[in-house]
Amino acid sequence: MAVGDLSLPVMHPVDGIRIGIAEAGIRYRNRRDLVVFELCEGANTAAVFTTNAFCAAPVQLAKTHLQQSPARYLLINTGNANAGTGAKGMDAAIRSCQQLSSMTAVPASAVLPFSTGVIGEQLPVDRLISGLPNALNDLSAENWEAAASGIMTTDTLPKGASEQFELDGIRYTVTGISKGAGMIRPNMATMLAYVATDVAVDAALLQALLRDVVESSFNRITIDGDTSTNDACVLVATGRAGNAIVTSEKTALYEALRVVLARVFQRLAQLIVRDGEGATKFMTVQVEGGASTQECCDVAYAVAHSPLIKTAFFASDPNWGRILAAIGRSGVPDLDVSQIFVWLDDVLLCENGGAAESYTEALGAAVMQKPEITIRIALGRGEFNDTVWTCDLSYDYVKINADYRS
């Protein structure tokens, strides 16, 4: 069950990007499960990947290819993660890139592969390859919405965001898609996300910009605390808007682009949480008054990962003692609990480390009926603050993951 508005906006095409989608039968019949992005010559590409040591073969290969050639194609399959597949899995990833390369007259290193789906099963690479002609025949600048559906696994709805802005008489576009609903606790990005802009941006600056916006978006969400083997997030700058290339953060265009990218990335990240497997509540965990960003995040994630808190929210039970317990085990050194305040939306639960005099069970229960709830925690230790987004843990999450391979 999705929480809140997951509707797609108008998905503005990005000049220099074409996308093709095809049915390859990777795992299921009658499902479009193969997506190809064609990037114009001269585009710059930045990417971040999972920190999971068991990273998938396509992740390893994409990292290598990024060091060798400018990216010209992104090749994405669903239904099979090609992770935990050893040398055969790497051979399959290499073959898929080589085949697309031979069909498009670009070096194999100009193809970046991505996979998502079941871990530990060999990729049916012959099926993938057989789907490539149809994907290439389908290439169109208008295919962002279809691509958002084509990269889904347990997602219930396609996820996308798109904005345009003007500066000095030039209109610029930022459009992106993401997928993910489970195995979400990123340490760089989450599951799969692809964002493009027609702004011309220097390659090194683009990579730094990507890391910046990822930190406040995909690196601030969690569904179940599991970091995937296949997480990848890609940002492409085609340069087709016609601006002089941005090489410094100290320009008006850089700042305007950063602001829009931050909104687009945050929307794509939050859509993943809103569509979390079995989710019925969208939870914002705000921590303020920390001595550092790290301890704010430590507290926020301790709350966001707690199955006791997540199941209480599913039951709409204001069992706020579980929140205090999570704060206490978050690892913050020398934590003075007498300084801590906690709110559910605007209802004060805890003041100076104990039950707030104004709190009643009825007030807490009323907040817990809402589909979107904010937990706000004041530590009273410093000037730092941070925010994490998560969802509740329901019966359906267990059912979805118990039946995932059936």
As annotated, the active-site residues are 190
Can you tell me the distance from the alpha carbon of 329 to that of 131, in angstroms, rounded to the nearest whole number? 50
Q: Label the pairing between strands 34-39 and 44-49.
A: unpaired
Can you tell me the distance from the alpha carbon of 182 to that of 276, in angstroms, rounded to the nearest whole number? 6
Q: At what angle do helices 125-137 and 86-104 cross, to 10 degrees?
A: 20
With beta carbons less than 8 A apart as the criterion, state whether 62 and 97 touch: no
* One-character DSSP codes across 276-310: -TT---EEEEEEEEESSHHHHHHHHHHHHH-HHHH
Residues near 22 by Cβ (< 8 Å), separated by ≥ 6?
32, 34, 36, 131, 132, 134, 135, 138
DSSP 92: H
Residues 16-49 as b or e (16 or more Cβ within 10 Å = b): bbbbbbbbbbbbeeebbbbbbbbbbeebbbbbbb
Question: What tokens appear for 45 in the block?
Answer: 């590409």
Amino acid at 345: D
What is the greatest pairwise CA distance in the chain? 72
Q: Give the rounded distance of the alpha carbon of 137 from its chain centre.
A: 29
Can you tell me the distance from the alpha carbon of 206 to that of 45, in angstroms, rounded to the nearest whole number? 8
The phi and psi torsions of 92 (rounded to 5 degrees) equal -65, -40
Question: What tokens appear for 1 in the block?
Answer: 């069950």
Q: Where are the beta strands (DSSP E) in 180-305?
A: 192-197, 232-237, 282-290
Sign of the four-CA dihedral 392, 398, 400, 404: positive
